């Protein structure tokens, strides 16, 4: 007796929504996608076709097929039979509220609605919803069909049970969900990225180094370790027998001094032009689309290698 088909609705088929659609199709789910944009269906199908080799490499579930995709511009029809709804609309509250209202007018009352929002809080998104208890955060990272991380959390009116259900659902699809216990702007990983970007921009603006040197500092230094173990485990590894306690005690005074010297994020957009010029100069010798293809290949190789090593989380 075959397992029942899982029906997933994808609301919004931009880069993130298309990545979600590819991922869920690779899990053998029936996916119904909806987007009102002109040409959205052809763009989505092309995106999935171009990304399918990557999910094949990562491993397809039984019954996985691109033929399991249905596209409709009728949002109500897209969500009507969905067991799980992944909303990936524009990052604007007015748009999110309109989408949630339209979804709730047609979806089953027990279907979880997960928002891919990269910064808006669930409490903001669920305001005015009929069933706010089933609205959760399900924030992925681009390319979302490859990178496992999904940030999951609830708002003031989300039931804890539905957060647990969303965590279990994502984990069952091969993702690495992490739970956010308290709402903050930008969630977790984006805040960590912004902290790094803040200092990276400051170093360029202060004339400490060129854009390319900053990129190389991460790509050929701590970024290699961060790809394998997180910041705290890497600190623990740096502490020798004393572990993280020793390294924080040893480096604490210096780190506090460095922290006082860190730059602040620019208050105006004047910095953008100089950063863009630096990126253009760094990319001049390269074919950027080919660089992204090679990036995805290396991401998959790294994930494959991590899978083989049981002691690497």
Residue 210: per-residue pLDDT: 97
Domain containing residue 245: 189-308
Helices 189-205/271-283 angle, 10° precision: 90
Half-sphere exposure of 4 (CA within 13 A, CB side): 5
Residue 1: per-residue pLDDT: 44
CATH of residue 72's domain is 3.40.50.720
Could you read off the pLDDT of 41-94 as tens digits, one per residue?
A: 999 999 999 999 999 999 999 999 999 999 999 999 999 999 999 999 999 999
Q: What is the average pLDDT across 224-239?
A: 92
Q: How far is CA 130 from CA 2, 84, 209, in A?
A: 35, 17, 52
DSSP reduced 3-state for 178: strand
Is the pTM higher than 0.85? The answer reads yes
229 and 121 within one domain: no
Residue 61: per-residue pLDDT: 96
Residue 52: per-residue pLDDT: 98
Domain-embedded: residue 219: yes
Domain-embedded: residue 1: no
Structure tokens at 102: 């339209």
The dihedral sign for the CA sequence 162, 135, 116, 214: negative
Domain-embedded: residue 145: yes
Structure tokens at 14: 């931009």
């Amino acid at each position: 007796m075959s397992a029942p088909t899982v029906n997933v609705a994808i609301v919004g088929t931009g880069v993130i929504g298309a990545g979600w659609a590819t991922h869920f199709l690779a899990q053998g789910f029936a996916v119904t996608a909806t987007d009102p944009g002109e040409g959205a269906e052809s763009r989505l199908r092309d995106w999935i076709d171009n990304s399918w080799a990557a999910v094949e490499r990562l491993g397809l579930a039984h019954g996985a097929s691109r033929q399991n995709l249905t596209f409709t511009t009728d949002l109500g029809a897209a969500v009507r039979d969905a067991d799980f709804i992944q909303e990936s609309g524009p990052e604007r509250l007015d748009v999110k509220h309109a989408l949630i209202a339209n979804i709730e007018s047609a979806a089953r009352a027990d279907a979880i609605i997960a928002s891919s929002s990269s910064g808006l809080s669930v409490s903001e998104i669920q305001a005015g919803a009929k069933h706010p208890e089933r609205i959760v955060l399900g924030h992925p990272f681009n390319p979302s069909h490859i990178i496992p991380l999904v940030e999951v959390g609830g708002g003031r009116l989300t039931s804890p049970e539905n957060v647990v259900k969303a965590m279990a659902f994502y984990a069952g699809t091969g993702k690495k969900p992490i739970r956010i216990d308290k709402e903050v702007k930008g969630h977790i990983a984006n805040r960590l990225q912004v902290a790094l970007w803040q200092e990276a921009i400051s170093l360029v603006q202060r004339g400490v180094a060129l854009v390319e040197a900053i990129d190389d500092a991460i790509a050929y230094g701590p970024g290699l370790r961060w790809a394998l173990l997180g910041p705290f485990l890497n600190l623990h590894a740096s502490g020798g027998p004393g572990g993280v306690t020793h390294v924080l005690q040893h480096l604490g005074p210096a780190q506090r001094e460095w922290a006082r010297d860190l730059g602040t994020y620019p208050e105006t957009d004047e910095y953008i032009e100089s950063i863009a010029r630096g990126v253009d100069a760094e990319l001049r010798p390269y074919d950027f689309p080919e660089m992204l293809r090679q990036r995805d290949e290396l991401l998959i190789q790294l994930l494959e290698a991590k899978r083989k090593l049981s002691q690497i989380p």
